[in-house]
Structure 1
Amino acid sequence: MNLIFLYLKKYRVAAIAALVMMGIELAVELSQPLLIAKIIDNGIREKDMTVVWLWGGVLTFSAVIAFAAGILSSFFASHASQGFAYDLRDKLYEKVQSFTYEVFSRFQTSSLITRLTGDVTQLQDTVFMALRFMTRVPLVVLGSVIMALVVHVKLGLLLAVTLPLLIVVLTWVMRRSSALFKIVQSRVDGVNGVIQENLTGIRLIRVFVRMGHEIGRFASYSGSLMKSTVAALRLTETMGPLIMLIVNAGIVAVLWFGRIEISAGQATLGETVAVINYSLRTIGAMSALSWIMATFSRAVASEQRISEVMSSPEGRGEIGSADVQVSGSHAAGENLVKQTHEEASIEGRVEFIDVSFSYPGSDIAVLEQISFAVQPGERVAIMGATGSGKSSLVSLIPRLYEPDSGIIRIDGENSSEMEVSRLRRSIGYVPQEIMLFSGSVRENIAWGNEHATAEEIEQAAAAAQIHETITGLPQGYETMLGQRGVNLSGGQKQRMTIARALVRKPAILILDDSTSALDAVTEGLLLKELKKMSCTTFLITQKISSTVSADLILLLDEGRLIAGGTHGELMKDSALYRKINESQNEEAAQHVQSTT
Structure 2
Amino acid sequence: MRKSKTAIQSTENSPSAYPVGEEYGIIKKQLIRYAKDIWGETLKTVFSYAKTYKWPIAIALLLMFVELAVELIQPLVIGKIIDDGIIPGDTGTVWTWGAVMMGLALAAFLSGVTNSFFAAHAAHSFAFDLRAAMFRKIQSFTMSTFLRFPQSGLLTRMTSDITMTSNVLYMSLRIMLRAPLAAAGSLIMAFIVNPKLALFLMIGVPFLVIFLVFMVRKGVAMFGRVQRRLDRVNRVVQENLQAVRLVKAYLRGAYESSRFTKVAGALRSDTVSAVRLMELILPVLLFVMNVSLLAVLWFGAQEVRGGGAEVGEVVAIVNYALRMTGSFSMFSFIIVAYSRAKASAERMEEVLLADGGTEEAERGSGRQPIGDLRFENVSFTYEGADKGVLHDISFHVKPGEKLAIMGATGSGKSTLLNLIPRFFEPTSGRVLLDGRDIQEWPLKDLRDAIGYVPQQSMLFTGSIHENLGWGDSEAGLDELEEAARKAQIHDSVERFPDKYGTRVGQKGVNLSGGQKQRLSIARALVRHPSILILDDSTSALDVKTENALWKALEGERATMLVVTQKVGTAAGADRILLLDEGRVSGYGTHEELLEQSVLYRQIVESQSAHAGEVNGDV
Inter-partner Cα distance in structure 2 for 1:245 and 1:517:
71
Letter in 2 for 1:215: S
String of CA shifts for 1:439-478, please: whole Å, max 9, x gaps: 1111111111111100010011001010001101111111
TM-score scaled by length of structure 2: 0.91
Partner of 1:368: 391
Matches within 5 A, 1:509-588: 509-588=532-611
Inter-partner Cα distance in structure 1 for 2:276 and 2:247:
37
Inter-partner Cα distance in structure 1 for 2:270 and 2:45:
26
Partner of 1:182: 224
**Is contact 1:316-1:419 (8 Å) kept?**
no
Structure 1 counterpart SS, 2:395: strand
Structure 1 counterpart SS, 2:496: coil
Identify the range of structure 1 (519-528 vs 120-129) with the bigger mean alpha-carbon deviation: 519-528
Inter-partner Cα distance in structure 2 for 1:511 and 1:191:
34
Q: CA deviation at 1:355?
A: 0.4
Q: CA deviation at 1:547?
A: 1.6
Q: CA deviation at 1:594?
A: 2.1
String of CA shifts for 1:455-508, please: whole Å, max 9, x gaps: 010011001010001101111111111221122111111111111111111111
Residue 247 (structure 1) aligned with residue 270 (structure 2): no
Inter-partner Cα distance in structure 1 for 2:613 and 2:112:
83
Q: Which structure 1 residue ranges, 5 or more long, are not aligned?
A: 324-338
Inter-partner Cα distance in structure 1 for 2:531 and 2:356:
25
Letter in 2 for 1:545: G
Inter-partner Cα distance in structure 2 for 1:186 and 1:111:
8
Residue 88 (structure 1) aligned with residue 130 (structure 2): yes
Q: CA deviation at 1:401?
A: 1.3
Structure 2 counterpart SS, 1:554: strand
Structure 2 counterpart SS, 1:372: strand
Q: CA deviation at 1:343?
A: 5.1
**Is contact 1:99-1:313 (8 Å) kept?**
no
String of CA shifts for 1:364-399, please: whole Å, max 9, x gaps: 111100001111111100011111111111111111
Q: CA deviation at 1:314?
A: 6.4
Find 2:273's aligned residue among 218, 231, 236: 231
Partner of 1:159: 201
Letter in 2 for 1:91: A
Residue 295 (structure 1) aligned with residue 337 (structure 2): yes
Find 2:181's aligned residue among 118, 123, 139: 139
Find 2:72's aligned residue among 11, 30, 36: 30
Partner of 1:492: 515
Q: CA deviation at 1:576?
A: 2.1
**Is contact 1:347-1:411 (8 Å) kept?**
yes
Partner of 1:336: none
Residue 304 (structure 1) aligned with residue 346 (structure 2): yes
**Is contact 1:346-1:507 (8 Å) kept?**
yes
Inter-partner Cα distance in structure 2 for 1:160 and 1:422:
70
Structure 2 counterpart SS, 1:407: strand
Inter-partner Cα distance in structure 1 for 2:300 and 2:440:
80
Structure 1 counterpart SS, 2:280: helix
Inter-partner Cα distance in structure 2 for 1:61 and 1:593:
98
Structure 1 counterpart SS, 2:384: coil
String of CA shifts for 1:229-263, please: whole Å, max 9, x gaps: 11111111111100111111110110011011111
Q: CA deviation at 1:3?
A: 2.9
Inter-partner Cα distance in structure 2 for 1:582 and 1:193:
42
Inter-partner Cα distance in structure 2 for 1:575 and 1:272:
100
Inter-partner Cα distance in structure 2 for 1:580 and 1:234:
63
String of CA shifts for 1:126-166, please: whole Å, max 9, x gaps: 00011111110011001100111111110111112222111
Find 2:454's aligned residue among 431, 441, 445: 431
Structure 2 counterpart SS, 1:373: strand
Q: CA deviation at 1:5?
A: 3.4
**Is contact 1:316-1:420 (8 Å) kept?**
no
**Is contact 2:421-2:446 (8 Å) kept?**
yes
Inter-partner Cα distance in structure 2 for 1:553 and 1:10:
57
Structure 2 counterpart SS, 1:209: coil
Inter-partner Cα distance in structure 1 for 2:140 and 2:47:
23
Q: CA deviation at 1:512?
A: 0.4
* Residue-pair matches, total: 576
- Compute the RMSD of aligned alpha carbons: 1.3
**Is contact 2:46-2:349 (8 Å) kept?**
no
Partner of 2:405: 382
Partner of 2:418: 395
**Is contact 2:594-2:600 (8 Å) kept?**
yes
Inter-partner Cα distance in structure 1 for 2:215 and 2:617:
75
Residue 106 (structure 1) aligned with residue 129 (structure 2): no
Identify the range of structure 1 (421-430 vs 116-125) with the bigger mean alpha-carbon deviation: 421-430
Structure 2 counterpart SS, 1:353: strand
Letter in 1 for 2:212: L
Inter-partner Cα distance in structure 2 for 1:8 and 1:166:
31
Letter in 2 for 1:402: E
Matches within 5 A, 1:251-330: 251-313=293-355, 315-318=357-360, 322=362
Inter-partner Cα distance in structure 1 for 2:137 and 2:351:
8
Inter-partner Cα distance in structure 2 for 1:41 and 1:579:
106
Partner of 1:416: 439
Q: CA deviation at 1:588?
A: 2.1
Letter in 2 for 1:248: N
Identify the range of structure 1 (417-426 vs 398-407) with the bigger mean alpha-carbon deviation: 417-426
Partner of 2:215: 173
Residue 2 (structure 1) aligned with residue 25 (structure 2): no
Q: CA deviation at 1:578?
A: 2.4
Inter-partner Cα distance in structure 2 for 1:3 and 1:173:
24
Q: CA deviation at 1:316?
A: 4.8
Change (3 A) 1:163 1:172: same
Partner of 1:119: 161
TM-score scaled by length of structure 1: 0.95
Q: CA deviation at 1:570?
A: 1.6
Inter-partner Cα distance in structure 1 for 2:44 and 2:342:
11
